[in-house]
Amino acid sequence: MKKERIPFNILHIFSPNGPHEEAYIAGTSIDLLRLGLSLIKAAIFKFSTASFFHSDGEGYSIFNISIPKDSGGNLFVPYTSEIFKDRNPDRFHPYQLMSFINGKHVYSRNKARRQ
C-alpha cells in the first residue's frame, strides 16, 4: 500500500461561527512555528505574509497586519455565520488596509491612519 504524500506547509484555521465559540489553528509543528515567526515579523514591521496549504493541497496566503491600538474595536467581527455578519458601517475589514501594487499585497500605513 502506497502512502499518500502530505504536502509541506499544512495549516488549517477554523474561524468561529458566532460569539463565544472557539477558533482553532491546526498544523504541523514546523508550520505553526512558521506562522509564529510571521506574526512576530508583523508585530515588528507592521505587516507580513506566509503561504500554507490545506490538507487537500489547496494553497492560500495569510496576511498578518499590525493595527494601531485604538483601531482594534473598529474591525469587523470575524464570525462565519451569516446571522452574525457584522453590518456596522463604522467598522472595516483588514483587507481595507492593503494595497495591491505590482501583483503583490502591500500594507498601507496611510490607510491605517485614516481608519
Q: What are the sequence ranges of the domains in the chain?
A: 11-114
pLDDT at 112: 47
Q: Residue type for 40, please? A: I
pLDDT at 11: 93
Residues 14/77, Cβ–Cβ less than 8 Å: no
Cα 3 from chain centre: 31
Residues 39/104, Cβ–Cβ less than 8 Å: no
> What is the C-alpha separation between 59 and 37, in angstroms, rounded?
19
Residues 33/41, Cβ–Cβ less than 8 Å: no
For the segment 15-39, what is each residue's pLDDT rounded down to a tens digit? 888 999 999 999 999 999 999 999 9
pLDDT at 25: 95
The whole-chain average pLDDT of the chain stands at: 81
Beta bridge partners of 25: 13
pLDDT at 44: 93
Cell (9 digits) for 1: 500500500
Question: pTM of the prediction?
Answer: 0.75
